[in-house]
Amino acid sequence: MIDPIKLTKTIQSEVCRNNSRKFYRFRKTQFYGGCATADCLGCNLRCVYYWAQKKIWNPEKFGKYYSPKEISEKLVKMDLSLTRISGGEPTICKRSLFDLINLIPKNTLYILETNGILLDENYIKDLNKFKNIYVRVSLKGIDEKTFETITGAEGKFFKNQLNALELLKKYEIKHRAAILIDLFTDDQIQNLGIPDLEYETLIRYPFVLKNLKKKGIEIVREH
């Protein structure tokens, strides 16, 4: 089983260099009604259904390093009111992330898409300094067992995700939790007790379906 905290340290050596972060593309997307997106490399989980794992899990083979200034300029140039880092886990390179958010115009919302594993109280206290952020925590299961099966990480780290949500609420940072609806029943999702969940849907690439089958994970609903 993966220890995502230890894996973070390994990944940092590959994707964080001084104050730069490794990215592999920049693009306009339709998410959230239109969002300027920078796709980073490196993640501290190994989600069985992740569609871009070839690049994200092998950062030494792809992309290049960009400074926060270079990233912000590329995002701002797209002239959209929403910005985000997607692809890998953005919280891995904290200094670069914070410098980037600081460079995003105050009238532009930065959406922090994260698995929440690294969002302890100190991290969230630092995030609270920014007023133009919205945090979206993508839950990787409905309990420790499903988290472990989906991510390949020790089940105990599922609590990190839930704790991140509690801390975001405590510090009054705008946020929302999201979950992949294809793999869980309505009752399972409701039993989480998390209000206003955002629902994600599975990208059903053949290799993703094959990986799910290998893990014995069933799709419980159709789109």
Mean pLDDT of 6-34: 95
pLDDT at 222 over 80: no
pLDDT at 104 over 70: yes
Mean pLDDT of 94-123: 96
Identify the band that residue 223 occupies on the pLDDT scale cut at 50, 70 and 90. low
pLDDT at 52 (0 to 100): 83
The secondary structure of 105-118 as a DSSP string is -TTSEEEEEE--TT
- Residue-wise over 15-36: b if at least 16 C-beta within 10 A, else e? bbeeebbbbbebeeeeebeebb
pLDDT at 204 (0 to 100): 87
Q: Determine how β-strand 35-40 pairs with β-strand 82-87.
A: parallel
pLDDT at 15 (0 to 100): 97
Mean pLDDT of 152-172: 97
Put simply, whether the predicted model's pTM sits higher than 0.85 gets the answer: yes
**What fold, for 4-215?**
TIM Barrel (3.20.20)
Instruction: Give the 3-state secondary structure of residue 34.
Output: coil
The secondary structure of 63-86 as a DSSP string is -EEE-HHHHHHHHHHT--SEEEEE
Identify the band that residue 76 occupies on the pLDDT scale cut at 50, 70 and 90. very high
